[in-house]
Chain A
Amino acid sequence: MDRKLRVAVHKFSSCDGCQLAFLNAGEELVELFELANVVHFAEAGIVDPDARADLAFIEGSISTHEEQERIRRVRENTRFLVPIGACATSGCLQALRNQADAARWFADVYSDPSKIDHLDTATPIAANVSVDLELWGCPVNTRQVMATVSSLLLGAPPREDKEKLCMECKRKNIVCVMVTQGQHCMGPVTRTGCGVLCPGIGRDCYGCYGPAENINGDAWGRWLEQKGMPAERIARRFRYIHSEAEAFREAGRRWREKS
């Protein structure tokens, strides 16, 4: 390759946690700056929001008019665009306002919401522009982002994992917290990738990596309903970090209607 891969990291509405997959990477961060040409990464000190990039990581959801405009410019300037984290892939917690009376929420918090640039919805990047790969997780980890950089440096397509957390949990021989303790573990419906952190410490998965492929949210909820969990709480399990990911949104809606 006659020139370095041009990498950008952009931030939209978010907690900054996914950028830490880079900033917490230690030596790997220094290495990244040697292997790639980092053209925009404001939190790391490099500011050029309109720079052309081969690979752009996008943190955050689109929740203002300014962000709607900005993501279009970033798309135009980018060859391979990768939303990272819950905000960018489904909207994260702030997208809970999409299913609520957003105008009232703003009015409750701010005396004059008209002075704030905001949209009534917080949406994922893919709802606004085309994307080339999504890295799910709240937050994504260093392994996920660096694997993507490495793949592209080698010219190989990055791998995307949509398997259920349950499968990985079984392979790790972790005692099932759902079957043995009746916890409302979302492992059967959640995408793997975190390393099975929650069942690994004896607690329920709460779905922060979003829906796995082909989930059955009705069956999952019925199992808990039989154990006596109210439908309304089952609905809230889906209406959490990834309330606007389609499979969770639909499951959440059905359980809410039952309550």
Chain B
Amino acid sequence: MNERREIRIDVPVLARVEGEGALDLHIRDGRIENLKFRIGEPPRLFEKFLEGREAFEVPDMVARICGICPVAYQMSAVQALESLFGWRSTPWIEAMRRAMYCGEWIQSHSLHIHLLAAPDFFGFTSAPEMARDYPDEVRRGLRLQSLGNELIRLFGARSVHPVGVRVGGFHCAPPKDRVARLVDRLRAALPDAENLVAWTASIDLPKDQQDFVSVALKHASEYPLYSGRIVSDTGLDIPVDRYEDHFKEHQEAHSTALYSLLEGRPYLVGPLARLNLNWDRLPEPVRSTLAKTGIPFPSRNVFHSMLARAVEIHLAVVEAIRLLENYEPDVPFVSGQTRAGSGFGCTEAPRGLLWHRYDVDENGKVLKARIVPPTSQNQARIAEDLHRSIEAFGLDHSDDELRLHGEKVIRNYDPCISCATHFLKLKVIRE
């Protein structure tokens, strides 16, 4: 009863997250005395070496922030620069951007569900290991992932650091026959996407109801990807250029990591936050497929993030078909003069809100860049969730069980640590 248990659990390298992360947990007398979600990813200083660059150089540079969501970085950047320069893109360009972005959602979400998250819920350490017992499920995931990659390649020639995006639009309009072949593949993948939603809904997840704030883009009529206003379930509703008025980064005591807060509170971005705020924008048949699972949204269970990812894969397949089925090539880009000023861009990366600001001088060169990636926005929420859910899970579990649960919580957010330009390694305080 008064048993003293003092354990330290160090997980120096987190498996199955993108980038280098680690978790330190220090428990004394049945309470968490110290919990740290450390990021070991060294800063690469993107915002500094963007300075002095011309606009045309930016999309291929910011892609390198993240190999898993390069399209998102390119899209937020071109949106910011075009809005500053006053270049009006065409409906064709906007539609094709949305289609390409769908490819990244399919690829990134499939990678996360199958290779990174699902093994946790079936007791495996890796997807190839899980493939021995669940070959159909893993292969379905790999098929969807490769379909997403193919959709990115259609516009970008390759799926990691694609080369097709430019400020103003695309370097080239894809040929009609290639688009038609891909639409056939997308149609054929609809059953896979629907089955994936049902499968992720059937996985026995921890039932952990939490109180958190969801933040996402909201568009007048569509499920948000490339554009919209920034909204929250606490009443925030602002255009993207007002982001800095409401969201602040600050330093925590004993920590060098920047935390991003909305009006002083941690908040959630990403698939669950998006679905919580935009379930009413789901088109058919995505809405019915979700309804069949019987899981109501908005959801307070953060573990429903995986289901939200599956729903968004289904949505992205349906959307890509809609956008491409009557495809005709068109003028792939607009251009014009550059001008000095500040430009803002915000899109929904697979992991959530990705906000960019560029200050440009009269020669069209970047004076200052600011990039706020989703993972650094989620950092405060992850720390809050870890503390809460590990205590709720029960500190009398074995070290291994606690470690696995902690890792599961972190992986559920799909933290993309390479992207998190403002993530810093935390020092562990040792007694």
Question: A interface vs B, CB < 8 Å?
Answer: 11, 13-21, 23-24, 26-27, 29-30, 33, 38, 42-47, 49, 63-64, 66-67, 92-94, 96-97, 100, 105-106, 108-112, 115-118, 122, 138-139, 141, 194, 197-198, 200-203, 206, 208, 233, 236, 240-241
Contacts and interface: CB of A to CB of B under 8 A. Distances in A.
B48 A44 contact: no
A44 B54 CA distance: 37
A63 to B, nearest CB: 5
A92 B131 CA distance: 35
Interface of B: 13-20, 40-49, 53-54, 57, 60-61, 64-68, 70, 107, 111, 115-116, 119, 124-129, 131, 138-139, 142-143, 145-146, 149, 157-161, 163-164, 166, 171-172, 251, 256, 416, 418, 424-425, 427
Contacts of B124: 45
A21 B60 CA distance: 19
A15 B418 contact: yes
14 contacts: A13-B44, A20-B159, A24-B146, A33-B128, A38-B128, A45-B16, A45-B129, A46-B125, A93-B44, A93-B46, A139-B161, A194-B158, A206-B163, A241-B60
A17 B13 contact: no
B48 A105 contact: yes
B42 A236 contact: no
A46 B49 contact: no
A117 B163 contact: no
B37 to A, nearest CB: 16
Nearest to A67: B42
B40 to A, nearest CB: 8
A92 B115 contact: no
Contacts of A13: 41-42, 44
Contacts of B13: 42, 47, 49
A46 B15 contact: yes
Contacts of B171: 201-203
Contact of B128 (A16, A30, A42, A117): A30
A219 B416 CA distance: 42
Nearest to A118: B42
A64 B42 contact: yes
Nearest to B417: A16
Contact of B67 (A19, A45, A197, A200): A19
Contacts of B143: 26
A24 B145 contact: yes
B15 A26 contact: no
A42 B14 contact: yes
B48 A108 contact: yes
A110 B42 CA distance: 12
B70 A17 contact: yes
A194 B153 CA distance: 13
A16 B251 contact: no
A42 B15 contact: yes
Contacts of B16: 42-45
Contacts of A115: 256, 424, 427
A27 B416 CA distance: 24
Contacts of A96: 49
Contacts of A116: 42-43, 256, 424-425
Given A100-B49, A109-B47, 15 more contacts: A15-B65, A16-B418, A17-B67, A17-B70, A24-B145, A42-B14, A44-B128, A49-B13, A93-B46, A94-B49, A106-B45, A111-B251, A115-B427, A236-B53, A236-B57
Contacts of B14: 42
A200 B174 CA distance: 11
B48 A23 contact: no
Nearest to B148: A24
Contacts of B127: 44-45
A105 B45 contact: yes
Contacts of A94: 44-45, 49
A55 B57 CA distance: 36
B48 A201 contact: no
